[in-house]
Structure 1
Amino acid sequence: MNYLLNKLNATFRDKKAYFFIVLIMFCLGISFGLYTVKYMGTSDKRDLTNYFSSFANSIGSQPTNYGNLLFEVIKKNILLIIPIFLLGLTFFGAPVILILDLLKGFTLGYTFSFIVITFEGKGLGLALASVIPQNLIYIPCYIALSVISLSMSTEKFKGKFIKRVKIQSQFFDGVFSKLIVIIILFAIGILIETYVSPSLIRFVAQKFYL
């Protein structure tokens, strides 16, 4: 495990520019999400407020179906993880990867900001319980995966269109070991989102909404 973590650290040192670009896109997405909620129309905000209120009450009073929740959480992550990796195998994938990072950041910023603003002071606890625990693991994983895929796609682009640039084949040799670490961390995040976050959300909902 230490060997695999060292491989990820080496990737960070070698690919600082990619980390910076991915992080900028992710932060821009979060900012767009925050501002979208701020300037949302009254009717849209009212509809979403009613939805979240119903959700808070239902999750606070009904038992969680962990089997269905686990399936949904895995599906949600796979639908983002696989496209990012597959785009890294193409020479044109880099811009799309950055767009996906932007959308991921937007979703996170929008969700967190809406819950906080909608429920005012009480919303902070609900937002922290529903968004933060799993994303403490997800976000670094998404960033690391995006950096690896962005690097692969860029190298393929250089190899195809810039013949004088030598492709750094040694980078590709360590991709598999890096992906193992990311998959393990993703699995931990999935378990947290499935089995820990619902209990936290239920506690907050019962404390403040029921």
Structure 2
Amino acid sequence: MNFLLSKLNATFRDKKAYFFIVLIMFCLGISFGLYTVKYMGASDRKDLISYFSSFTNSIGSQPINYGTLLFEVIKKNILIIIPIFVLGLTFFGAPVILILDLLKGFTLGYTFSFMVTTFEGKGVGLALVSIIPQNLIYIPCFIALSVISLSMSTEKLKGKFFKQIKSKDPFLDGVLNKLIGILVLFAIGIVIETYVSPSLIKFVAQKFYL
């Protein structure tokens, strides 16, 4: 355990600038999401409330189709994981990776803020059980994947424009093992989002919304 913690600390120190940039973009995205809800127009808010109310009624009264849900959750995560990894293989990928970090943060901030503010406090429970459990795993994985991809993209950039620099980034040693570890954690998050969060959402919906 101490060895693992020391490795994580060494990794953070080695790439703290990348971690900092990714966190900044992610937090900016959350802030933009929060403010978007705050200044949302009345008609847009009404449409979302109507949709959200029908959603809570549906999930609270109907059985959960875990097969369909699992497919949708996997698809949603693949649409995040693959673009970030592929962009890491290109010399121009770094700015786009940061934009994806921003969008991920925006989605979380928007969703959480909408649930909490729209239903005058009653949405706090639903926001917590629908967003927090899986994202306790997703967010660190997302940040780690972004840092790895930024490092890979930077190496590609150096190789293209600074060919005299031959030293390899030691952070990328064993990158395959790092990626496998991230994918395993993502899989755990997918299981939680598919089989744990829906039951919690169903319980909260039945308790407070039906």
**Residue type of the partner of 1:52?**
F
Alpha-carbon distance, 1:159 to partner: 1.8
Superposition map of 1:77-92 within 5 A: 77-92=77-92
Question: Which residue does the alignment assign to 1:108?
Answer: 108
**Residue type of the partner of 2:92?**
F
Identity of aligned residues (%): 84
Superposition map of 1:87-98 within 5 A: 87-98=87-98
Superposition map of 1:119-198 within 5 A: 119-198=119-198
TM-score (norm 1): 0.95
1: CA distance, partners of 2:139 / 2:52: 24
Question: Which residue does the alignment assign to 1:65?
Answer: 65
Alpha-carbon distance, 1:8 to partner: 4.9
Q: 1:193 to 1:67 in 2, by over 3 A?
A: same
Cα distance per residue 1:63-110 (max 9 Å; x no partner): 000000000000000011000001001000000000000000000000
1: CA distance, partners of 2:8 / 2:92: 24
Q: 1:79 to 1:55 in 2, by over 3 A?
A: same
2: CA distance, partners of 1:102 / 1:87: 15
Cα distance per residue 1:169-188 (max 9 Å; x no partner): 53333100101110110000
Q: CA RMSD in A?
A: 1.7
Gaps of 5+ in 1: none
2: CA distance, partners of 1:26 / 1:89: 21
Matched residue count: 210
SS of the residue corresponding to residue 168 of structure 1 reads coil
TM-score (norm 2): 0.95
1: CA distance, partners of 2:41 / 2:49: 12
2: CA distance, partners of 1:146 / 1:133: 21
Where in structure 1 do 4 or more consecutive aligned residues deviate above 4 Å?
Answer: 1-9
**Residue type of the partner of 1:193?**
E
2: CA distance, partners of 1:52 / 1:179: 36
